[in-house]
Amino acid sequence: ISGIIVKNQTIAQCAFLNGMTGNVNDGIFGLAYSSLTKDGEKPVFYNMWSQGLISEAIFSSYFNPDPKAISGGVDSSKYTVSVTYAPVVLAGYLEFQMTSVTVGSTIVSRSANAIIDTGTSLTIGPVTEVRALNHALGGTLDSSSGLISGIAVKKQTFAPCTLLNGMTGNVNDGIFGLAYSSLTKGGEKPVFYNMWSQGLISEAIFSFYFNL
């Protein structure tokens, strides 16, 4: 990996992955916690850190115009403001707590847990909360795709979800998709794209710190 040699790494051969048929990638570079492994295997990022191959237990992703993933820190030349961190509340997925979701003075959801996921581009949440968000923003539900679009305030597309394959039994309240728009079903803009294009963040960067 960029000249880094990781020793004793467990990998999985996969002939078929549900939900990813037709993709042009060659595999998945998992960056979640070891609690999600089947038999306690060490994820590659754990081994990179424990073997002294990276100087910090941090990985970051930079979007636009030169997208890249960085292991072992952040590229300070890509941003000018302080990095804001949200603590992980459950060491499985990259799960953090949102104190609330509001539209103007309307509280749509209180104290919800969410997952940051660089492998998806959707923002998904429980049906009740997403319907409330849709109502508050004036969005329109597309019955054929299940997506909510045309939101007046930020023009963000959301998807209500009653069951997400492979994630049954999880205690999180949704997924905060951070992948590229090429993964969307109908060309919808992921939330991070809108945050950047609408000037809500000063740099097109998100980063993660693991306390290993």
In a domain, 32, yes or no: no
Lowest mean pLDDT among 70-84, 96-110, 120-134: 120-134
**pLDDT confidence of residue 8:** 92
Residue at token pair 């508050």 = 136
pLDDT digits (tens, 9 = 90+) for 162-186: 555 555 555 455 666 777 777 777 7
**d(Cα 5, Cα 59) in Å, to the nearest integer?**
17
Domain that holds residue 164: 77-202
Q: What would the two tokens of residue 54 be? A: 């990276």
In a domain, 33, yes or no: no
**d(Cα 207, Cα 203) in Å, to the nearest integer?**
11
Q: How far is CA 147 from the centre of its chain?
A: 18
**pLDDT confidence of residue 159:** 66
In a domain, 49, yes or no: no
In a domain, 146, yes or no: yes
Helix (H/G/I), strand (E/B), else coil: 71: strand
Please provide the average confidence, as pLDDT, over all residues in the chain.
Answer: 75
In a domain, 4, yes or no: no
**pLDDT confidence of residue 50:** 93
CATH number of the domain that residue 173 is part of:
2.40.70.10
More confident residue, 196 or 3: 3
Q: Count CA within 13 A, CB hemisphere, residue 96.
A: 14
Residues 6+ apart with CB under 8 A from 129: 101, 108, 109, 112, 173, 174
What pTM did the predictor assign? 0.56
Integer CA distances (angstroms), 210 to 25, 31, 59, in order: 25, 10, 8
In a domain, 57, yes or no: no
Q: How many domains does the chain have?
A: 1
Looking at residues 188-204, what average pLDDT do you find?
73
**pLDDT confidence of residue 174:** 63
